[in-house]
Amino acid sequence: MNKACDIAGIEPVVVQYLSQPKRVFEFTIPLRMDNGEVKIFNAFRVHYNDALGQVKDGTRFVPNLDLDTVKALGLWMTVKHAVAGIPAGGGKGGIRVDPSRLSRLELERLTRAFIRKLPLKGAWVDIPGADIGTNAQTMAWMLDEYEEIVGYHSPAAINDKPSEVNGTAGSKEATGTGAFYLTIEAVKDLGLENGCSVAIQGFGTVGRMIARLLYNEGFKIVAVSDILGGILNQSGINIEKLESHMDLTGSVIDFLGTTSISNDQLLETECEILIPAAVESVINSKNAHNIKAKLIMECANGPTTPEGEKILEAKGVTIIPDVVTNCGSAIVCSFERTQGLTDDYWDLETVFKRLNERIVKAYWQTAETAKQKNISYRNAAWVNAVIKITKTMKIRGWV
Ligand code: NAD
């Protein structure tokens, strides 16, 4: 962010304001366990910046959650919303807990307590969504508790809900589908061949979706991996059959007609497009020299370290950054709020059509700034975001 502010010529006082969250809530939740014992859990919620609108985004239930992580993720969401043209600020929160160690009833009580103890919440203030360790069921409990507190229905107050309680169509497919739309744009932008070769790390919600869409579009998926390892076939992998194999075995490994490779080898595979869709920091100074792809679409959050990026930049590799590539879920979450506020629920086709319009616009705005200023797509996305947020803060009279 400092680099983006530097390029954009943002004044030091604004940088100082943007370098810290607007509000931080840190609280404890005593939970009566099923055996009668009481355990204390630590919870956090950060409203990073709400110049553009109410804050929103994920709620993480993980055992190692700390406030610094939540703050950083809040900034990330602030930027993602600005890049995607969403009238919202960035928020993030969660509980330091391993949900797999709680019974269903304990988890429900903890989730409801989290919402009760959140000091500021609702469709016009802060809209929690799902993240690691939370899911549609968690969000249904949050919504129900919120509606009990306020005494009326308010589906726009919580995101990532199941369709039974006015969740949106396409929420699970949003990130992979958005990243697919952008891959098509990036291929045009860089003059790559439509249907060129692709390697994908991660075959979960996002990786599987983008693999399926690119395969159906005629791209040659040469390598795929999950946490257990990778598979390679330079002539192309049949993704439809791979999905059946995955459903049957729970992994991509040992798929007929492919060679086994490691996750490290996958990143260095001979291909035009590399799609990291698993975890952070996998592309770094150790392997960047050996990466052969011309284009990297960052579906995962933070898959490239700054040192790795420097090496790739020198090699002429284009990286479409996470805040652009994976902002599909943020866009569809904002659609979920709009639908909740208007009680007008859209079909999947409408959601994807509007997602396509919004995300493609975000791509070309980023590309234009990158070309105009001769900077990377990552810097361009952050520059556009800090300029937009700064302008709004100035109009509001904050700085
Ligand atoms: P997921 O849990 O559904 O899938 C993750 C995949 O990565 C799985 O195939 C898993 O086996 C694999 N994996 C896990 N650890 C790995 C490792 N160390 N090495 C290689 N592979 C590993 O997760 P997801 O929802 O598909 O999210 C993937 C990435 O996209 C994450 O970085 C996430 O933060 C980011 N993201 C997801 C969404 C979303 O809507 N799901 C939105 C924005 C960003």
Residue owning the nearest CA to atom 13 of ligand 1: 227
CA 199 to chain centre: 20
Residue 59: half-sphere exposure toward Cβ, Cα within 13 Å:
30
For a substitution probing ligand 1, which of 92, 227, 242, 284 has the most ligand atoms within 8 Å of its CB? Answer: 227
Give the residue, by CA position, lying nearest to ligand 1 atom 8: 204
Q: Are 303 and 324 in contact (CB under 8 A)?
A: no
Quick one: pLDDT at residue 234?
Answer: 98
Told to judge if 310 belongs to the known catalytic residues of this protein, a careful annotator would answer no
- Class of residue 339 by CB neighbours under 10 A (exposed 0-12, middle 13-18, buried 19+): buried
User: What does the alpha-carbon distance between residue 129 and residue 159 come to, in Å, rounded to a whole number?
Assistant: 5
Residue 182 pLDDT: 98
* Separation of CA 225 and ligand 1 centre (Å): 11
Give the per-residue pLDDT at 297.
Answer: 98
Instruction: List the Cα angle 151/104/26 in 5-degree steps.
Output: 60
Residue 172 φ then ψ, to 5°: -70, -35
Distance 14 CA to ligand 1 centre (A): 34
Residues forming beta bridges with residue 224, ordered by sequence position: 200, 231
Which residues of the chain fall short of a pLDDT of 50? none
Q: Cβ neighbours of residue 286 under 8 Å, at least 6 residues apart? A: none
Would you give the end-to-end CA distance of the chain in angstroms? 18
- Nearest Cα residue to atom 31 of ligand 1: 300
CA-closest candidate to residue 113, choices 77, 142, 151:
142
What is residue 314's predicted lDDT score, i.e. its pLDDT? 97
> Cα of 204 to ligand 1 centre, how many Å?
6
- Give the domains, in start order, of the chain with CATH numbers: 22-164 (3.40.50.10860), 168-399 (3.40.50.720)
Q: Quick check: CB of 177 below 6 Å from ligand 1?
A: no
Per the listing, tokens 């990026």 go with 309
C-beta of 169 in contact with ligand 1 (< 6 A): no
What confidence score (pLDDT) does residue 28 get?
98
pLDDT of residue 338: 98
pLDDT of residue 105: 98
Report d(CA 61, CA 68) in Å as an integer. 15
CB atoms within 10 A of CB 74: 28
pLDDT tens profile 215-249: 999 999 999 999 999 999 999 999 999 999 999 99
Gap between the Cα atoms of 295 and 197, Å rounded: 11
pLDDT in the model for residue 189: 98
Of 56, 92, 220, 388, which one is the catalytic site residue?
Answer: 92
Q: Which amino acid is at 185?
A: E
- Contact assessment for residue 230 and residue 262, using Cβ atoms and an 8 Å cutoff: yes
Ligand 1 proximity of 322 Cβ (cutoff 6 Å): no
Helix (H, G, I), strand (E, B) or coil at 87: coil
